[in-house]
Structure 1
Amino acid sequence: MKALYPCDLHTHSTRSDGCDTIPELIQRAAKCGIRILGIADHDVLPISSMEIDGEMTDIIQYALMHSICLIPGVEFSCETLVEDVHVIGYGCCWTHPALLELEAFCTASKMKAYKATLDRLTEFGFPLKLEEVLKQPGGRIDPDKLQKKHIFEAMAKKGYFSDWITAKLFVRDHPSLNVKRQKPEAVRVIQVIQEADGLAVLAHPYLIDEIITTQSGKFMNRGDFIHLLQVQGLNGIETRYTYDKTTCKDRRPNFVLWREIFEHYKDTLLLSGGSDYHADQKRGSKNPRMLGECGLTVEEFFIQPALKRLLSNEQLEFFEF
């Protein structure tokens, strides 16, 4: 399938809850015409090299061999009391101590909460063992790579629900099952990303409920919350996103949501976009998010200097201006 948008800045690999390894993701992206690819796995910092075909290989160079400019990133889940507040960091110094500390905090809090979730599901009549969840299409994942989506997928695999989205909604809306893991405040995540010389981008803003409760107990509407993040240094926001293939409560067509976000933030934030691709087709999803289904055009990417600076001179040589 040919990518509708050649710049897809929001994808996931097997390093979190995606089903494609990084090489597989790059190869798949090349086949569908992606030119600029962002890999932002959940709560785990990117790696610079890995073993590919028996040799340690620089990942950015591997992508260039496939005519793709790779932008490493990380997607942090934020706000303990609010679902789907995710901030993506791009262009960071990935060895910055504050980033490493944040990654360690997220890993510990997830393991504690997800094990409690499995216990509660079993008590509720949906028995599910940790080892069952860790078995993924690409092989067993390490426990510290466990993501909540893995639990929902395992629930669907065991036949408890028709698909992972239905399982997620059931757990989310059931108070005794929805174990809240401790998450960092979005403002702190933005600060850490900027301390590491990166760009902080708010992912899928319309997945955030219209009215939220902050960790300080304050009620706030989504627009005011995003404004607060802007005041605290948020650099960008996702415009195009696969809302129709997620748990978005706003069921208006994608293009309506995209237009609202664009019109509201075009003059104050850099504009990103991505599919949130997970290779869900490998799990049997009937309506998976596809690479390049959402994102930016090459022109939209390069017209924004902050995004252009994420590419090295060697990567820029792949484009003609």
Structure 2
Amino acid sequence: MTTTRPAATTEEEEMVMAASAAANAAPPDADDREQQKKARARNKKKKKKRRRAPSEEELAALRSVLLWARRGEAGDDDAADCGGHLLPAGRRRPRVAVELHAHSARSDGSLSPAALVERAHRNGVKVLALTDHDTMAGVAEAMETAKEFSIRIIPAVEISAVYSPSWGPAKSQELEKVLSSIREGRYTRAKEMLSKLRSLGMALNFEDVSNIAGNGVAPGRVHVARAMVEAGYVDNLRQAFSRYLYDGGPAYAIGSEPAGESVVQLICRTGGIAVLAHPWALKNPAPVIKDLKAAGLHAIEVYRSDGKLSGLSDLADTYELLKLGGSDYHGRDDKEEPDIGSVDLPVLAFFRFLEAAQPIWCNAIKEIFANTTERTGLNGPKECHRTSSVDDLCNMCLSSPELEETDDSEVEVLRTEFADIILSNRSCKTLTEQRAEITSLLH
């Protein structure tokens, strides 16, 4: 596929003629200079809108990602417009709205998981990772709601660590044990922050902070900040953080966060993808990223609502890390907060994430499946059962009396992820294989 530059428009020709005439005329006055400045600005804006034609690799990746997002069900319009993502005259880079960093009211967001999914749907999001702080309690609700809108949910968690949070899908009790310990530390941390505020003449009740956080939600700084606003100590959340609750501030306190390296290793052990969130908040990110890479880090956030951060992109290249990003949406009453789905994550970046993630997820799910079938007595050829659907498979594996205490969210995650396994010769069909098939069709 070749790219050609469109012929000059009539307006562009007029601008060239005007510029030529101006060069042969008397020096322009102030009004003429202003008009020329505006003309140059218009021309520059038009040039920015012209995007290169999408490559075959991008188109193949787009189709693969859309198939993955739809759980393998191709749309009738895929061949014509890449599943609703029109590419007129090769002038637009293909894009799938993906949100990999968003919070619900199960941590410090304002929307319930269901409401968050609904907002993502209104914004055209096709893939959503719910990354609540130190908990996956909202995943099941998000998945259930997503069924109504054909949104793909990636079970995820943003884990508080000494260096910086990481997030990614995971499994098993080992992860929950660590998350539970971190959440307990959040209660202790909140009480210490209230003690420091009291010494500064701002008395607050812990019960009020807990009520703001909600039933079962470990309190964070934002909940303390809201209590400060309600008590009249500050005008808004921004003021509470800028004056008292910022890192190292007079009312700041640390929790029981583990070391960043141990968090990355935990995520890798439990079948997840470890991604460094907020790397721009680090004063000296290079040595931190180097150490986390050695521990198994897969990716870092590079894309934000204000574009790609070149310095972090270079670090990602240096340490061979995937480049991801998200809005970090919380649903706060802040006009400057990026909306969910607002980060322009290139489809190739997300495709490469899936290329790396899918084998890891498949292996983790196979391990769960092996453990479950072993406990339910379905691990021998004489006891094999034929299933006609994912629901049958999940019911067969998850209905054992030994699993009565299985958490609902874990069952829903298993039910969703089992749908991605193709049990053929005990192997998974990867996105790389899908892309190879699609690429062959393009030639």
CA distance in 1, matches of 2:175, 2:190: 22
Q: CA deviation at 1:279?
A: 0.8
Decide whether the 8 Å contact of 1:74 with 1:88 is kept in 2.
yes
Residue 121 (1) aligns with residue 212 (2): no
Kept in 1: contact 2:189–2:255 (CA 8 A): yes
1:179 equivalent to 2:253? Answer: yes
Matched, 1:298 2:347: yes
For 2:124, the aligned partner's letter is: G
Give the 3 Å change call, closer, same or farther, for CA 142–295 of structure 1 in structure 2: farther
Q: Name which of 119, 128, 133 aligns with 1:28.
A: 119
Corresponding letter in the other structure for 1:291: I
TM-score, normalised via structure 2 length? 0.56
In structure 2, the residue matched to 1:165 is: 238
1:280/1:289 contact within 8 Å kept: no
Q: Which residue of 2 aligns with 1:197?
A: 271
What stretches of structure 2 of length at least 5 have no aligned partner? 1-94, 362-415, 422-433, 439-443
One of 257, 274, 293 as aligned partner of 1:230:
293
Alpha-carbon distance between aligned partners in 1 of 2:239 and 2:338, rounded to the nearest angstrom: 16
Match 2:188 to one of 112, 124, 127: 112
Residue of structure 1 in register with 2:165 after alignment: 86
CA, structure 1 residues 143+63, in 2 after alignment: closer, same or farther (shift >3 Å)? closer
> Which sits farther off after the overlay, 156-165 or 34-43?
156-165
Picking from 143, 159, 163, the partner of 1:60 is 143
Q: Which amino acid aligns with 1:45?
A: M
| Kept after mapping to 1: 8 A contact 2:107/2:217 | no
Equivalent AA in structure 2 for residue 276 of structure 1: D
Shift, 1:239, TM fit: 1.0
**Secondary structure in 1 matching 2:328:** coil
Aligned match of 2:332 in 277, 280, 290? Answer: 280
How far apart in 2 are the matches of 1:46 and 1:235? Answer: 24
**What corresponds to 2:222 in structure 1?**
149
User: C-alpha displacement at 1:124, in angstroms?
Assistant: 0.9
Larger radius of gyration: 2
Question: Which segments of 5 or more consecutive residues in structure 1 lack a partner in the other structure?
Answer: 51-58, 211-220, 243-253
Name the CA distance, whole Å, in 1 between partners of 2:247 and 2:165.
19
Q: Which residue of 314, 319, 331 corresponds with 1:263? A: 314
Letter in 2 for 1:228: D
Q: Provide Cα deviations, 1:160-218, integer angstroms capped at 9, x if missing partner.
A: 3343233223223666522222210011111111110111100010012x1xxxxxxxx
Are 1:42 and 1:74, in contact at CA under 8 Å, matched by a contact in 2?
A: yes
* Aligned residues of 1:236 and 1:271 also touching (Cα < 8 A): yes
Measured after TM superposition, the shift of residue 265 of structure 1 is: 0.7
Specify whether residues 5 and 277 from structure 1 end up closer, same or farther in structure 2 by C-alpha distance, changes over 3 A only: farther
Higher strand share: 1
Moved over 4 A (4+): 173-176, 307-316
Secondary structure (helix, strand or coil) at the match of 2:105 reads coil
Question: Which AA in structure 1 matches 2:188?
Answer: K
Q: Greater relative contact order (Cα 8 A, min sep 6): structure 1 or 2? A: 1
Distance 1:149 1:173, change over 3 A: same
Whole-angstrom CA distance in 2 between matches of 1:64 and 1:266: 37
Higher helix share: 2
TM-score (norm 1): 0.76
